[in-house]
Structure 1
């Protein structure tokens, strides 16, 4: 099977083609002509997975269920969490450190999946891409804006097949919305509202003051990875890390790649031009908002604006922590907005449309219009819809970079990268909102210069142009020897 490094053929492919030539055949096999990354259809994709418990276990099952995959290696810092995947694939080699796995299995694998906490996505994916391996990375693509940009550029540089784990991008719903919009059913979009009931884990709280002993099966130092060293605390693993900036990306990182993706695809959005926010308060016993800069806030409202040449700016709202937009007048009193806890509304000059999480259940407003209109099917449908998201990537890996299967990828980094950057722009706004400086002449009072302003974003150069302290949140420093 071919190792995806440049355009050279592997020894195995060379032997196959040489055997045919010796037998008197002069037709060049298709897999030799396929270009970088092409794997013969008769072969299976050889996959290694990093982070194989919880959501990672679901990713292992989904990838393997394509029927075209051999699981070669599994990697997890937590032996207990990895147990299910290891039992399902007893022949797969098992590692705790992804760096050791990549070193030892480089010649045995074609691709990897990455399903770790957010702060480790980029370094693992980048290490694999530099080896010429295809990558599947859970959402959000990265922890930082800078990482998202670097991964996007690396996918093109190394000519590898990439996919982010926002399965709704493979669903039929978002494609139907694209067709409705292109047919002019709601006119020109002017505003977008997106919302979620997340977080469903603690946020807006102080870091626990009492360290505890890590579980025996967890390698805490490897789990921390790129993050600053801290003693282990209770109730952090396996889920509540999402609410801490060192590891997670809050409600935005957890759900926005699912919920913001439909309007991004429908409207063809790129980088925002500005961001502003407000955040929810936490009662601390003194009727003041607690200042807990290590923790994501309990709720937030982000407003992004997108420049569209020749058109008015698009206003894009994100709300979490249970905050929702005003119900559209076109909805009947007992009709549900979104799916109740999450949703999207796109307002246009001629009408509105709405969907639930993952772009499911798209509706024109009023909802009676949905059954009254019919537009041509112009968008490619992924076999199996959102359930075909894993196979969509596997087929593209087998086809190779630039193949027909590659052209049908739902969320390659060329798409997922800019989406993730916009998602993380909301977090940059939140962290700038919490940036504080000592007030002159006071020992215990502070000013918050990032509040009440609009952050202006230079997308190509990844820089806030009007509030320099915000730029510290574009790119973080890694611990120890970790690097991109």
Structure 2
């Protein structure tokens, strides 16, 4: 999806800035004189486009719009019948409307500065790559990509095209995360050797038989565009608009939904790199006695994953990270006093367990608490109240991205972003390692005698992060990337 428009060409905004500097050789008129208090010059506004805004994307584009601090010039969604799509067409009545993001980028490429990408997981990479190749800054919902190879490619592409990037794990901009970093850096919990993470996801149908096609979609929905690079299947409302998360063709399951939120915290606090080992187990569904449903196309109803990380420069200990979904939470660790509540009532949360104590928090890093070996407890300060229109989590994460876009690729604003692709890419790779293990666990081959099956992927898998390769079970490497449908591919 290369474009003839070169990223190195001067942007509209730089051209305006250059003109302003030239004019300044003769006279300078303060902006407040021209436009009054609170006036934002047109040259200080980003021209934004959204790809996917019928769900979470609605808040992504509107938080970036920031009550008119920026312009929304183009809106793209494959389904114009969704309520939030209709609402945003009304709200941004002057924005050009598209169903195909490729057409939008080709026709509006000279106008657009930055793009929010909030589609289903399987199209994140192709949309973001097409935008970056045209020199557009991108904000991409979590998980950054559908698979590990795509995450590596987007990370490298952001550097190549020198664009400002942010992944939509808004908890990374939660100021309470800084408290956890400070606690650890002061040595209050010692060296961390274990991380326990849990979630109540999936909260959508999962572990069920493959849905059958259900007729034709409405005229509002372009089903072929919705499928994008995924393998072609018939339309069914069991996939769109939300339930796609539970199917490997489109989604990344519970890990894809929550992993980039909550695993972000130990990655940031401990400075973790690529894992070296991964192992999983999953629950099964029994629709008849003694016979478990075998459905390698769908995510399981619950899973348990263990990742191992080597010691980092910050944390001088190997770390075991244990992930549990499907509503299964870990047992109470020793440093958590009896009677103390689990984060979020036990639905979603994290424990970082060291040799001197532990840190506990909720899914977005909310309300961290520190428990030490000697029985002491600390709580993080409450989240600050909104200041200058930049509250957390309502819109701060997106606003910080838009301000960095205005400042540019090499700016301190971009370097200060909490989830640029330099951080979000490796984080996403590690999150999706869990899915690689789950899908390997589901592989089966008939036994030689024809009686039953062998499950060769039910083992500890060894990972070479630099080269993105499982070294002891080659069949698992099919899940590092994916087969792209004809007419779709990902390239830099």
Extract unaligned runs of 5+ from structure 2. Answer: 29-39, 382-388
Match of 2:332? Answer: 327
Of 240, 256, 265, which aligns to 1:237?
240
**Offset, 1:90:** 0.5
The DSSP-based 3-state class of the residue aligned with 1:339 is: helix
Q: Which piece of structure 1 moves more, 384-393 or 159-168?
A: 384-393
Q: Is the 8 A contact 1:66 1:394 kept in 2?
A: no
Match of 2:66? Answer: 65
Match of 1:269? Answer: 272
Q: Which piece of structure 1 moves more, 207-216 or 173-182?
A: 207-216
**Offset, 1:40:** 8.8
Q: Is the 8 A contact 1:273 1:306 kept in 2?
A: yes
Aligned pair 1:347/2:348, yes or no? no
Of 444, 447, 467, which aligns to 2:454?
447
With over 3 angstroms needed to count, the CA separation of the structure-2 counterparts of 1:273 and 1:56, relative to structure 1, is same
**Offset, 1:16:** 5.7
With over 3 angstroms needed to count, the CA separation of the structure-2 counterparts of 1:448 and 1:327, relative to structure 1, is same
The DSSP-based 3-state class of the residue aligned with 1:242 is: helix
Aligned pair 1:173/2:181, yes or no? no
Q: Which piece of structure 1 moves more, 309-318 or 276-285?
A: 309-318
Q: 2-side partners of 1:9 and 1:234: how far apart?
A: 44
Q: 1-side partners of 2:401 and 2:109: how far apart?
A: 20
1:456-479 Cα shifts (integer Å, max 9, x gaps): 000000000000000000010111
Q: Is the 8 A contact 1:242 1:250 kept in 2?
A: yes
Aligned pair 1:203/2:206, yes or no? yes
**Offset, 1:10:** 4.1
Match of 2:386? Answer: none
Q: Which piece of structure 1 moves more, 85-94 or 382-391?
A: 382-391
**Offset, 1:97:** 0.4
Q: 2-side partners of 1:264 and 1:331: how far apart?
A: 22
Match of 1:412? Answer: 420
Q: Is the 8 A contact 1:66 1:390 kept in 2?
A: no
**Offset, 1:290:** 1.2
The DSSP-based 3-state class of the residue aligned with 1:71 is: strand
Alignment of 1:164-313 (within 5 A): 164-308=167-311, 311-313=316-318
Q: 1-side partners of 2:372 and 2:73: how far apart?
A: 51
Aligned pair 1:154/2:161, yes or no? no
| Root-mean-square deviation (Å) | 2.5
Match of 1:377? Answer: none
Q: Is the 8 A contact 2:202 2:325 kept in 1?
A: yes
Of 126, 136, 139, which aligns to 1:136?
139
**Offset, 1:18:** 5.3
**Offset, 1:401:** 0.6
The DSSP-based 3-state class of the residue aligned with 1:316 is: strand
The DSSP-based 3-state class of the residue aligned with 1:331 is: coil
Q: 1-side partners of 2:154 and 2:406: how far apart?
A: 21
Of 436, 442, 457, which aligns to 2:463?
457
Match of 1:47? Answer: 48
Q: Is the 8 A contact 2:211 2:238 kept in 1?
A: no
Aligned pair 1:403/2:411, yes or no? yes
Match of 2:384? Answer: none
Q: 1-side partners of 2:43 and 2:13: how far apart?
A: 13
Aligned pair 1:426/2:434, yes or no? yes
Q: Is the 8 A contact 2:213 2:233 kept in 1?
A: no
Q: 2-side partners of 1:178 and 1:468: how far apart?
A: 38
How many residues align? The count is 462
Q: Is the 8 A contact 2:188 2:372 kept in 1?
A: no
With over 3 angstroms needed to count, the CA separation of the structure-2 counterparts of 1:362 and 1:14, relative to structure 1, is closer
Q: 1-side partners of 2:311 and 2:448: how far apart?
A: 42
The DSSP-based 3-state class of the residue aligned with 2:125 is: helix
Q: 2-side partners of 1:26 and 1:467: how far apart?
A: 70
With over 3 angstroms needed to count, the CA separation of the structure-2 counterparts of 1:438 and 1:347, relative to structure 1, is same
The alignment's TM-score, normalised by the length of structure 2, stands at 0.89
Q: 1-side partners of 2:24 and 2:192: how far apart?
A: 62
Q: Is the 8 A contact 1:135 1:161 kept in 2?
A: yes
Extract unaligned runs of 5+ from structure 1. Answer: 28-38, 375-381
Q: 2-side partners of 1:433 and 1:88: how far apart?
A: 47
Q: 2-side partners of 1:373 and 1:17: how far apart?
A: 45
Q: Is the 8 A contact 1:155 1:161 kept in 2?
A: yes
**Offset, 1:201:** 0.8
Aligned pair 1:116/2:116, yes or no? no
1:309-367 Cα shifts (integer Å, max 9, x gaps): 68442101111001111112343444321112000000001111100010000001269
**Offset, 1:7:** 5.0
1:258-297 Cα shifts (integer Å, max 9, x gaps): 1111111100111100100010121120323211011000
Q: 2-side partners of 1:22 and 1:58: how far apart?
A: 38
**Offset, 1:23:** 7.3
1:108-156 Cα shifts (integer Å, max 9, x gaps): 1001000000000000000000101000000000000000000001111
**Offset, 1:202:** 1.1
Q: Which piece of structure 1 moves more, 229-238 or 339-348?
A: 229-238
Q: 2-side partners of 1:133 and 1:291: how far apart?
A: 43
Q: 1-side partners of 2:287 and 2:380: how far apart?
A: 53
